[in-house]
Amino acid sequence: MGNGVRAGPVEFQRDVEPVTARIPAEDNQERKKVLNSLISGALAGAVAKTAVAPLDRTKIMFQVSSKRFSAKEAYRLIYHTYLNEGFWSLWRGNSATMVRVIPYAAIQFCAHEEYKQLLGNYYGFQGKALTPFPRFIAGSLAGTTAAMVTYPLDMVRARMAVTPKEMYSSIVHVFIRISREEGLKTLYRGFTPTILGVIPYAGLSFFTYETLKKVHAEHSGKAQPSPPERLLFGACAGLIGQSASYPLDVVRRRMQTAGVLGHTYSSILLTMQEIVREEGLVRGLYKGLSMNWVKGPIAVGISFTTFDLTQILLRKLQHGPAVER
């Protein structure tokens, strides 16, 4: 009996100790994964948006005006802005963009990784590439999550892009003036078209990029695409995603800037109707799309590539050179 009593605690300790030691290690690994995604996403957004900021500002200025868009007019606007306000004015509003895009991109990319894992577990694809429908859903959910959290910052950035620097001296000043003169609800004006536009945009962008990487791996035999190939896949993703959601982007910008441009857009449908009536279907709702076909693929390509390469770098730093995404 004495031997039996002594054997019980020893056996119990042997069973319990591995369990209690394993849980903190798994939690620590998950925290590292989330942190890596947040850092990589933040850097990806900042690099991509800064690279195309002058084109982005020009696109917004056309979107919120009734001027007819053309490459010649876009060049003229950029040149006149440079002459009248200086070289760095081409990046006006980029500080507000960074304040928005860094958390937006960090949340979007991190959320996408988490949604991929959740959907993979749900559909039984643990450790494998998702099938097309879950792949689209993961991207849409990631974009929606990021947009909901950071929308007021997008509103502020649009205001700074279309107003002279004398009107708003800083990001904080935009928030104060809008809140005081137009009400706090104004910070969410254009929110509905934003979410409706983000669903196809983010869904198709992530879907296209992930699909092209999967197809590349199957046909090339290489586990990972090269950086130029990543840029190309990201450019295709941006082209498809932005083309699908562009009219809602125009509506969003009109509603965001209505308070400073003398318009009173009250709903998505009324805004669309007014734009089509005054400017036509294609020239109104697709104004600036050709510039987006230059700007968008560059930005999205840089964004996806920066995210992937930063993820790989961080993992190598943490686990050694053998680790690949």
The total number of structural domains in the chain stands at 1
Tokens of residue 82, six digits: 């440079």
Give me the numbers of helices (H) and strands (E) for the chain, helices first please: 11, 0
CA torsion sign for 85, 87, 90, 92 is negative
pLDDT of residue 222: 87
Task: Note whether residue 10 is domain-resident.
Answer: no
- Residue 12: φ, ψ to 5°: -65, -45
pLDDT per residue as tens digits for the range 150-186: 888 888 877 877 777 778 777 888 888 888 888 888 8
Which residues span the domain enclosing 173?
55-299
Is residue 206 within 8 A of residue 132, CB to CB? The reply is: no
Each residue's pLDDT tens digit in the chain (325 positions)? Answer: 445 554 455 444 444 444 444 456 677 888 889 999 999 999 999 999 998 888 877 877 777 777 777 777 777 888 887 888 788 778 877 777 788 899 999 999 999 999 999 998 887 776 677 889 999 999 999 999 999 998 888 888 778 777 777 787 778 888 888 888 888 888 888 888 889 999 999 999 999 999 999 999 999 888 889 999 999 999 999 999 988 888 888 888 888 777 666 666 768 888 888 889 888 888 888 887 887 788 889 999 999 999 999 999 998 888 765 555 5
Residue 224 forms part of a structural domain: yes
Q: Is residue 43 part of a domain?
A: no
Distance CA 152, CA 172 (A): 12
> Rounded distance, CA 101 to CA 21, Å?
39
Non-local (6+) Cβ contacts of 275 within 8 A are: 250, 251, 254, 284, 285
Residue 16, class by beta-carbon neighbours within 10 Å (0-12 exposed, 13-18 middle, 19+ buried)?
exposed
CATH of the domain at 291: 1.50.40.10
Q: Is residue 244 part of a domain?
A: yes
Query: Does residue 79 fall inside a structural domain?
Result: yes
Q: For residue 245, is it within any domain?
A: yes
The dihedrals phi and psi of 262, each to the nearest 5 degrees, come to 80, 20
Does residue 313 lie within any of the structural domains? no
88 lies in a domain? yes
What is the distance between the alpha carbons of residues 20 and 14, in angstroms, rounded to a whole number? 11
